[in-house]
A and B are shown apart, each in its own frame.
Chain A
């Protein structure tokens, strides 16, 4: 059974903290993604990675960074957490296609609260 595993289901942090969200996939997928999901706004792409050490900005990268040191692991970093980063964060992975970066499998999400 294929799996995308996010390290925490729920996380509570304070403003100004540096926050790490971890994601691991076991499908040997080249592409990995981080989205945030907010009511009324849907899923929005923060960053994606198409190979080890490679990353591309998504639609809302401000305030975030990412790290991909190994193929199976993709980390999202909130450099200095702020209350407007309270959200559900979803990690996804996908196989490389001729074109495009489309996620195929999603993790169960991390609900992050910044106080």
Chain B
């Protein structure tokens, strides 16, 4: 059964720092992996989607990488800003069963001004 883990659960950094958020999964047979952002009291906003055949995706200051063989993905945020403060979740779509997402519990990020 696929399990998705995000460590750390919470992170505080000063503004301007480059940072890496981690996501690990137990079953490497995945269809794709997606990173989401969730602001307090809000729904999820899709940030980056990586297909299983891809190694990374980039959008602005965000870069997500995928290493299926080791069961890991990282979200790199360059030059962090207070507006980046949110909870970041990764979700893995497995190829077993009905190709549904399994979500991690998220990393709560606070960027200090």
Contacts and interface: CB of A to CB of B under 8 A. Distances in A.
A107 interface: yes
Please classify the interface of chain B as helix (H, G, I), strand (E, B), loop, or mixed, using the class held by over half of its residues: strand
B98 A101 contact: yes
A106 B43 contact: yes
Interface stretch (A11-19, A35-43, A70-78): A35-43
B106 A99 contact: no
A102 interface: yes
A102 B44 contact: no
B89 to A, nearest CB: 7
Contacts of B45: 106
B101 A56 contact: no
Nearest to A56: B98
B46 A104 contact: yes
B43 A4 contact: yes
Give chain A's interface residue range (CB within 8 Å of chain B).
20 to 34
B77 to A, nearest CB: 21
B103 to A, nearest CB: 4
Contact of A43 (B32, B42, B89, B98): B89
B89 A42 contact: yes
Interface residues of B, number: 21
Nearest to B34: A102
Contacts of B55: none
Interface in A62-115: 90, 92, 99-109
Contact of A45 (B32, B41, B44, B101): B101
Which 6 pairs from chain A and chain B are nearest by CB?
A100-B99, A106-B43, A43-B103, A42-B105, A106-B44, A42-B103
Interface of B: 4, 31-32, 34, 41-46, 89, 91, 93, 98-101, 103-106
21 contacts: A42-B89, A42-B106, A43-B44, A43-B91, A43-B103, A44-B103, A48-B100, A59-B100, A92-B44, A100-B98, A101-B98, A101-B99, A101-B100, A102-B34, A102-B91, A103-B44, A106-B45, A107-B43, A108-B42, A109-B42, A109-B43
